[in-house]
Structure 1
Amino acid sequence: MLVDTQPATYQHAPASPEVRDHWVNSQLIGVLMDNMGPSLLAGVLSLPVLLYLMAGQANTVALALWGVLTMAMLVMRYRLIGIYRLRHDSLEGPQRMSFVQRYKWSWTIMAVLWSGPVFLTYQVASQATQFVCGLVVLGHGLLALTTFSAYLPVFRRYTNALIVAVLVGLVVATVRMSHKPEVVQTGLVLMALLILFWGLLVMAGRRLHEVYRASFELQFSNQELIDSLTLQTRASLRAVATKNRFLASAAHDLRQPVHALSLYADWLATEPEMARDISPRILQSTRAINELFDSLFDLTRIDAGNYKVRLQHVNVEKLFDDLSAQFEPVAVGKSLRLRTHTRPTIIWSDPVVLRRILGNLISNALRHTHQGGVLIALRHREDMLLFEVWDTGVGIAREHQQAIFQEFFRVSQHQGTEDSLGLGLTIVSKLTSLMGYQLALNSVANQGSVFRVMMPEFTQREPVQENPSGAEDNSVF
């Protein structure tokens, strides 16, 4: 089975529709509150004019009550603007929406109050007064189109309350004057025109709202794009810096064995009789160069996404036996004990990748352990399998426990790091991420370390075989 490891192109995760809607609605509420100033000014200017025109023609008590209530609502709306500017203008999202929800009743009451002149003057005052009052009421309806349409719920609430209240006023007056056919006919015509005006007003408000919303949605998308490009630019700069550091360190580490190899070759050319002494050193330098190139190629393939994972059944006991056979001579040469601990277990993994991970951890443990030994173990947990590599070595100080997974990092004061390339743990970190495993480290300086490769349960789920009877056993262990 092949698993494509081509890394996904870096992208800034787009915001959820809920986040977008909250942001857009908060901006629309901001426009609504910014436009309340002209609406308030129009109300303050039209109120004394209406009171002057209706004085002596409408019921005095009703007119005074309407005037007091309207003035109180205008003052209240002025205070409302102040509350918004002070407490909510700098906030966005749910805070602004909760503010509108708390005071939404004020738009309804204000709309009903502006329908008052129709109740007070229709078929009661002079035609000129009725005409002016009608114009003012229609003017407030048109003003709502430009003032409140940014936030559709408020616009609908205000417009519906205004038109319905005016319609009720016309119906009441028409019923009261039903004994006059010409009044009934005029009332019906006015009601029809008012309903038509209502429909046109709602339609225009919806379209204007869509323009507002589309504008802010475009602004939100542009900001998302800017943020994404900014993050990608920063990631690219970090990648370039990492590659530069990587290449500089690789050139430095490669220069040492190549230079040594050149010196040994010159020495051998001038003193051929020293071949027996020089040959092991030449071999050691050659192995160091090969190890460096192998590690660099591994890292390059992983980063480029060309590392193909082949998942199959792996016998853990056989894997541990092979690793013991590979590293036992190193352990014996340093007078260390190399032990394994597991029980018969078949896992689902890539044997080459798993051997590379554990091999690098064992090699790292043996390099930094000078007495005691190294233990390789597989432990079973309820929701995962844990490969552990224990050592009794020099340990890793807390301040270095993150840096050791970086390319070419070596703890300078550690004995045994002189011939280390500083790439083994980097490869382990990248391969565990590639396989979906988790890598953990516990270490105490001068006491030892334990590296844990955790294989979550989902990594052990085998794919459904389309033809089980014809499947071949691809296990290599």
Structure 2
Amino acid sequence: MLVDTQPATYQHVPASPEVRDTWVVSHLIGVLMDNMGPSLLATALALPLLTYLMAGHVDPWGLGVWAVLTLVMLVYRYRLIGLYRLRYDSLEGPQRMNFLERYRWTWTASAFLWGGPVILTYQQAPHAVQFICGLVVLGHGLLSLTSFSAYLPVFRHYAGTLILSVAVGLMANTIQFIERPGTIQIGLVLLALLLVFWGLLVMAGRRLHEVHRSSFELQFSNQELIDSLTLQTRASLRAVATKNRFLASAAHDLRQPVHALSLYADWLATEPEMARDIAPRILQSTRAINELFDSLFDLTRIDAGNYKVRLQHVDVRKLFADLSMQFEPVAVGKSLRLRTHARPCTIWSDPVVLRRILGNLLSNALRHTHQGGVLLGLRQREGMLVFEVWDTGVGIAREHQQAIFQEFFRVSQHQGTEDSLGLGLTIVSKLTSLMGYQLSLNSEASRGSVFRVMLPAFTQQEPAGSPEPGRRSEV
């Protein structure tokens, strides 16, 4: 089981440009569908008015076909709004885009039908009727500017089809009644004005679309900022809670040896003849205080980024011999067997940090082992150097295998945790992360544990012009 030795961090990851664009387009489609209602209402009001106005002045069959098709399209688009509200209004992203691509033809068809009054009336109905129909059609074009410009592809298709339909009507009727005086000149002037109107309409639509898009992009950025600030606030609150717990635990663990030291000092003052018995206890309390302070200083330096790593060549056999000499008395005192196993090997590391890591693991193993022994070894696996500390101790239950790397955590039912500070494995996890090593744990309750410190190949690479053995390289 690989143990994550890094503390939990809460960092907002900015959305990719694709995600941002999808979100913005989705909301632009929402605006388009929201504005579709007023456009259809204007169509519903204008349809009977134009039909009544053109009746008796244009071809009745043509007028009937146009009115029926426009009414059918009007009803169909009203139903389209209902379908959108029912199925797609609560969705975002690709679903809305697929909906619009499927039904975009309805906007094109509606725009083409709105050219019908010009086709039916130009050069065929009285000038007043032509003027009113043309005015209504152009007004509908202006209405499309506010209704459809939120989603630029739909607006462009709608505006282009509307202008094309009106232009076809102008040219067709001009050709049909070309024998009338001034028909060609009037047709060309109207066509030129129509093209100018189309250009201005498209330009205004593009600018209005940019306003809509900028608004939603700003809304998206604000939401990202709010999410980031929320995560940072939560992380700050958790950090404060962690520091408070850390200080409370440190004060509690420090109070015990200091109180014991005070009692021993009072005892020694009142009964000097007991110095031989009291001195070892005073020494033990002093060592406990020093150990706690050393551990706290190490943690503080690591967290503050002030822990200097000095890389150099390290003789593994010599390192193991030093560790064995240091912990052999502890093993003998508990009737345990402490063994080391490593082939002659020189690695590129910080000897102080590496000794601190392995020393804390050995100390932890000996503290929780009551029979059998502890083994410190070095193996090479798949291009990695792996330090292993095996023990036949009480083991660690699965539910505690993550928590043991937290500050001051101790398994209450384990023997040997009474005098433990609960900082050794925390320091190990932080130092391995500092060095770029990997830390893993396999353990089974009542059967023992094995901690592995894996040194990846890149941590063994010396910089160009590396120093001779014995010289240091600071990082």
On the 8 A contact 2:311/2:472 being kept in 1, the answer is: no
- 1:173, CA displacement in angstroms? 2.4
- Partners of 2:271 and 2:265 in 1: CA distance: 10
* Equivalent position SS for 2:390: strand
1:371 counterpart = 2:371: yes
- 1:474, CA displacement in angstroms? 5.0
Q: Which residue number corresponds to residue 265 of structure 2?
A: 265
- Partners of 1:94 and 1:147 in 2: CA distance: 22
Q: Which residue number corresponds to residue 3 of structure 2?
A: none
Q: Which residue number corresponds to residue 3 of structure 1?
A: none
Kindly provide the CA deviation profile for residues 182-219 of structure 1, in whole angstroms up to 9, marking residues without a partner as x: 11111111111111111111111111111111111111
The change in CA–CA distance for 1:332 and 1:42 in structure 2 (over 3 A counts) is same
The change in CA–CA distance for 1:139 and 1:341 in structure 2 (over 3 A counts) is farther
1:436 counterpart = 2:433: no
- 1:385, CA displacement in angstroms? 3.6
Q: Which residue number corresponds to residue 408 of structure 1?
A: 408
Alignment of 1:42-81 (within 5 A): 42-81=42-81
Structure 1 residue ranges without an equivalent (≥5): 1-6
Segment of structure 1 superposing worse, 25-34 or 327-336: 327-336
- Partners of 2:462 and 2:61 in 1: CA distance: 86
- Partners of 2:253 and 2:29 in 1: CA distance: 62
Alignment of 1:180-259 (within 5 A): 180=180, 182-259=182-259
Q: Which residue number corresponds to residue 4 of structure 1?
A: none
On the 8 A contact 1:155/1:205 being kept in 2, the answer is: yes
Kindly provide the CA deviation profile for residues 251-288 of structure 1, in whole angstroms up to 9, marking residues without a partner as x: 11101111111111122222222222211111111110
**Identical residues among aligned pairs (%):** 80
Q: Which residue number corresponds to residue 171 of structure 2?
A: 171
Kindly provide the CA deviation profile for residues 222-276 of structure 1, in whole angstroms up to 9, marking residues without a partner as x: 1111111111111111111111111111111101111111111122222222222
On the 8 A contact 1:314/1:475 being kept in 2, the answer is: no
Kindly provide the CA deviation profile for residues 316-370 of structure 1, in whole angstroms up to 9, marking residues without a partner as x: 3333333223222222222222223334444443332222222111110011001
- Partners of 1:59 and 1:460 in 2: CA distance: 92
Q: Which residue number corresponds to residue 338 of structure 1?
A: 338
- Partners of 2:316 and 2:176 in 1: CA distance: 97
Q: TM-score, normalised by structure 1?
A: 0.92
- Partners of 2:470 and 2:98 in 1: CA distance: 63
Q: Which residue number corresponds to residue 26 of structure 2?
A: 26
* Equivalent position SS for 2:393: coil
The change in CA–CA distance for 1:247 and 1:41 in structure 2 (over 3 A counts) is same
The change in CA–CA distance for 1:99 and 1:474 in structure 2 (over 3 A counts) is farther
- 1:175, CA displacement in angstroms? 3.0
- Partners of 2:185 and 2:154 in 1: CA distance: 34
Kindly provide the CA deviation profile for residues 371-403 of structure 1, in whole angstroms up to 9, marking residues without a partner as x: 111122333333644322111000112222222
Segment of structure 1 superposing worse, 83-92 or 158-167: 158-167
On the 8 A contact 1:177/1:184 being kept in 2, the answer is: no
1:133 counterpart = 2:146: no
The residue identity in structure 2 corresponding to 1:319 is L
- Partners of 2:386 and 2:275 in 1: CA distance: 48
On the 8 A contact 2:310/2:472 being kept in 1, the answer is: no
- Partners of 2:161 and 2:348 in 1: CA distance: 69
- 1:306, CA displacement in angstroms? 1.7
On the 8 A contact 1:316/1:347 being kept in 2, the answer is: yes
- Partners of 2:470 and 2:190 in 1: CA distance: 87
On the 8 A contact 1:170/1:187 being kept in 2, the answer is: yes
- Partners of 1:238 and 1:94 in 2: CA distance: 37
- 1:68, CA displacement in angstroms? 1.7
